[in-house]
């Protein structure tokens, strides 16, 4: 029987980042992965969706070539080649998966291929092997639930991996879901010239975002020609190959399942860690579950962002090694790769109001930002929320072509408990999109610059 300080179940960004850190902390570490290193994020989520989105954005952008001063692009000749875009995506994913495999070797993490099952505390079975370990980190992820799609014709509904494996795309596509993955998938399809609609049981599209961002996205979807149908119980197939979505009947040859995700748990034997009402593992700020020596990180805990997974995993293995680095969930940015991108950190305006905090806000539109104009990326705005009387920044919400990078400055400021005056004192390079964050802070201070 092999003995470890730490056995990690799951090779996604919750598991593999934790494995690297665990090894650096001197823990003898094993990682069990049943499919591909990198997990959902690297193989079917964050990375492939962004690679495909870049292809789609490129295709969409070509309609502006003439405006930019480029002659000779014939719109009628253009064709989005799904197979080639997928081939590019595959290449990127493979490079990164190989990279993670290399990092496991470099850090002397033992990687076991197979299904892990807990056989009591401190015992993990992987096929024939029984591992004894001081601690376990469960980072097994989550998968779209999608039972509302049961009963639809075979071949119509595709999971994301099945969708990626298609040789080509049909004329009419429905994406099932109202979360980030669903919105990104729909937008990628639309920008690459496909007819697509979003349908979901949810009440709202991306309901966790600040209302101003939700409103923006709804308008944007409408403008791009992506119909959105919410509050749907389940889609029904009619006899003539159409799909009934509530009161509407629409053509549909492909339905991509991006339903909200449910936890994937390893076999737990007699162990029964506490779960929340949705079935996700309950953890504290060190990633500890209710069971001694059993930690969890990532999607399986209900925090469905890769960066949260890595942070939780790192906090967990640090705790195993006797170091206290609790995860501060209030400072985890969220990021969506729409076009423009969306990113947020901290409280929404609705949350600030609900807490009854006196606050001020500042906003700035990218439509008058010099770099945004130069790039032709003038869609979007930055919104900053700060509490009175000190002007401490408590929420930043960004819609911008590179919002997911712009948010990093806001997270840094919030982590260091910066005030609006602190931000005003940070000189921003000109011309940059980051100036919009600065300008929003000036606006909140009631001394706007370019507004």
Q: What residues are labeled active site? A: 430
CB atoms within 10 A of CB 71: 6
Considering only the stretches 121-129, 199-207, 232-240, 374-382, report the one whose residues sit in contact with its own copies under the rule CB under 8 A.
374-382
Where are the extended beta strands (E) located within 139-240?
Answer: 142-144, 157-158, 172-176, 195-199, 228-229, 236-237
Q: Give me the least distance between CB of 88 and its own copies, in Å please.
A: 6
What's the first-to-final CA gap in the chain, in angstroms? 68
Of 204, 325, 360, 361, the residue at the interface with its own copies (CB under 8 A) is: 325
Footprint on residues 385-424 left by its own copies (CB under 8 A): 402, 404-409, 411-413, 415-416, 418, 422-423
Binding residue for its own copies, selected from 26, 79, 168, 272, defined by CB under 8 A = 79
Q: Residue from 7, 20, 178, 304 that binds its own copies (CB under 8 A)?
A: 20
**Assigned token pair, 391:** 């002007």
- Of the candidates 63, 90, 95, 215, which one interacts with its own copies according to CB under 8 A? 95
Q: Which of 108, 222, 274, 450 binds its own copies (CB under 8 A)?
A: 450
Binding positions for its own copies, 240-259, rule CB under 8 A = none
C-alpha to C-alpha distance for 70 and 62, rounded to whole angstroms? 10
The residues in 42-61 that bind its own copies, with binding defined as CB under 8 A, are: 42, 46-47, 50-51, 53-55, 58-59, 61
Nearest CA to 314 out of 334, 300, 295 is that of 295
Q: Does 84 bind its own copies (CB under 8 A)?
A: yes
CA atoms within 13 A of residue 22's CA, in its CB half-sphere: 31
The two structure tokens encoding residue 27: 């823990």
Measure the CA–CA gap between 59 and 188, rounded to whole angstroms: 10
364 and 439 Cβ atoms separated by less than 8 Å: yes
Residue 213 found at the interface with its own copies (CB under 8 A): no
CA dihedral sign, ordered 393, 394, 399, 404: positive
Residue closer to its own copies (CB basis): 155 or 322:
322
Q: In the complex, what is the shortest distance from the CB of residue 101 to its own copies, in angstroms, rounded to a whole number?
A: 12
Would you say 232 and 239 are in contact if contact means Cβ atoms under 8 Å apart?
A: no
Closest separation in Å from C-beta 166 to its own copies: 13
**Binding of its own copies at residue 165 (CB under 8 A)?**
no
Asked whether 410 and 347 are in contact (CB, 8 A), the reply is no
Closest distance of CB 17 from its own copies, Å: 7
* Residue 211 structure tokens: 């209302």
Q: What is the sign, positive or negative, of the torsion defined by CA atoms of 438, 440, 442, 448?
A: positive
Rule CB under 8 A: say whether 373 interacts with its own copies. yes
Which region, judged by CB under 8 A, interacts with its own copies, from 169-177, 206-214, 258-266, 369-377?
A: 369-377
Pick from 10, 11, 13, 146 the residue near its own copies by CB under 8 A.
13
Instruction: Please tell me the count of residues contacting its own copies according to CB under 8 A.
Output: 96
Question: Which residues does residue 112 pair with via DSSP β-bridges, in sequence order?
Answer: 32
Pairing of strands 142-144, 242-245: unpaired
444 makes contact with its own copies (CB under 8 A): no
- Written as six digits, the tokens of 179 are 């979360």
Q: In this chain, which of 3, 73, 231, 248 binds its own copies, going by CB under 8 A?
A: 73
322 touches its own copies by CB under 8 A: no
Query: Quick one: residue 356, left, alpha or beta (phi over 0 = left, psi -120 to 50 = alpha)?
Result: left
Residue 363 engages its own copies in binding (rule: CB under 8 A): no
Q: Which residue has the tokens 């003539």?
A: 240
Could you say whether residue 306 binds its own copies (CB under 8 A)?
A: yes
* Whether the bond into 98 is cis, omega within 30 of 0: no
In the structure encoding, which two tokens stand for residue 181, read together?
């993955």
Q: According to the binding rule CB under 8 A, does residue 94 interact with its own copies?
A: no
Q: Which of 88, 158, 204, 361 binds its own copies (CB under 8 A)?
A: 88
Site string for its own copies, 331-350 (x = CB under 8 A): xxxxx-------x-------
Residue 42 contacts by C-beta under 8 Å, 6 or more apart in sequence?
A: 12, 13, 36, 93, 96, 97, 100
C-beta closer to its own copies: residue 38 or 122:
38
Q: How far is the CB of 36 from its own copies (least distance, A)?
A: 15
Q: How far is the CB of 298 from its own copies (least distance, A)?
A: 12
DSSP state letter for 429: P
Among 433, 439, 440, 444, binds its own copies (CB under 8 A): 433
Q: What angle do CA 412, 395, 406 make, to 5 degrees?
A: 50
Closest distance of CB 342 from its own copies, Å: 11
Under the binding rule (CB under 8 A), the answer on residue 430 touching its own copies is yes
162-170, 211-219, 264-272, 442-450 -> range binding its own copies (CB under 8 A): 442-450
Residue from 72, 155, 358, 389 that binds its own copies (CB under 8 A)?
A: 72
């Amino acid at each position: 029987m092999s003995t470890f300080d730490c056995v990690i179940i799951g090779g996604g960004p919750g598991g593999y980042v934790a494995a690297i850190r665990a090894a650096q902390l001197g823990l003898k570490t094993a990682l069990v992965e049943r499919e591909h290193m990198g997990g959902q994020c690297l193989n079917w989520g964050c990375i492939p969706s962004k690679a495909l989105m870049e292809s789609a954005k490129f295709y969409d952008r070509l309609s502006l070539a003439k405006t930019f001063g480029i002659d000779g692009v014939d719109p009628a000749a253009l064709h989005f080649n799904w197979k080639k875009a997928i081939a590019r995506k595959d290449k990127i994913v493979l490079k990164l998966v190989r990279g993670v495999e290399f990092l496991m070797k470099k850090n002397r993490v033992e990687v076991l291929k197979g299904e892990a099952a807990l056989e009591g505390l401190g015992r993990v079975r992987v096929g024939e092997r029984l591992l004894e370990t001081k601690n376990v980190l469960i980072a097994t992820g989550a998968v779209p639930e999608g039972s509302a799609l049961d009963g639809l014709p075979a071949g119509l509904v595709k999971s994301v991996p099945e969708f990626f494996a298609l040789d080509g795309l049909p004329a009419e596509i429905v994406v099932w879901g109202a979360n980030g993955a669903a919105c990104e998938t729909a937008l990628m399809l639309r920008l690459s010239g496909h007819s697509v609609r979003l349908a979901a049981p949810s009440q709202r599209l991306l309901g966790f975002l600040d209302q101003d961002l939700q409103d923006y996205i709804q308008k944007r979807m409408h403008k791009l020609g992506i119909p959105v149908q919410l509050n749907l119980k389940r889609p029904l197939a009619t006899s003539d190959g159409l799909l009934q979505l509530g009161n509407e009947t629409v053509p549909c040859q492909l339905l991509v399942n991006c339903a909200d995700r449910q936890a994937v748990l390893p076999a737990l034997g007699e162990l029964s860690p506490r779960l929340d009402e949705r079935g996700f593992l309950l953890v504290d700020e060190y990633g500890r579950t209710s069971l001694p020596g059993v930690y969890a990180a990532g999607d399986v805990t209900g925090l469905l962002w890769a960066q949260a997974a890595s942070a939780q995993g790192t906090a967990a293995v640090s705790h195993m090694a006797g170091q206290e680095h609790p995860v501060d969930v209030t400072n985890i940015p969220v990021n969506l790769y729409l076009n423009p991108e969306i990113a947020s950190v901290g409280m929404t305006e609705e949350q600030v109001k609900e807490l009854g905090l006196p606050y001020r806000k500042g906003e700035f539109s990218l439509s008058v930002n010099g770099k945004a104009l130069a790039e032709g990326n003038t869609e979007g705005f930055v919104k900053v929320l700060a509490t009175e009387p000190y002007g401490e920044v408590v929420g930043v919400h960004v819609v911008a072509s590179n919002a997911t990078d712009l948010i990093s400055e806001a997270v840094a400021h919030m982590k260091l408990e910066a005030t609006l005056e602190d931000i005003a004192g940070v000189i921003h390079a000109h011309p940059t999109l980051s100036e919009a964050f600065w300008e929003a802070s000036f606006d909140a201070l009631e001394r706007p610059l370019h507004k």
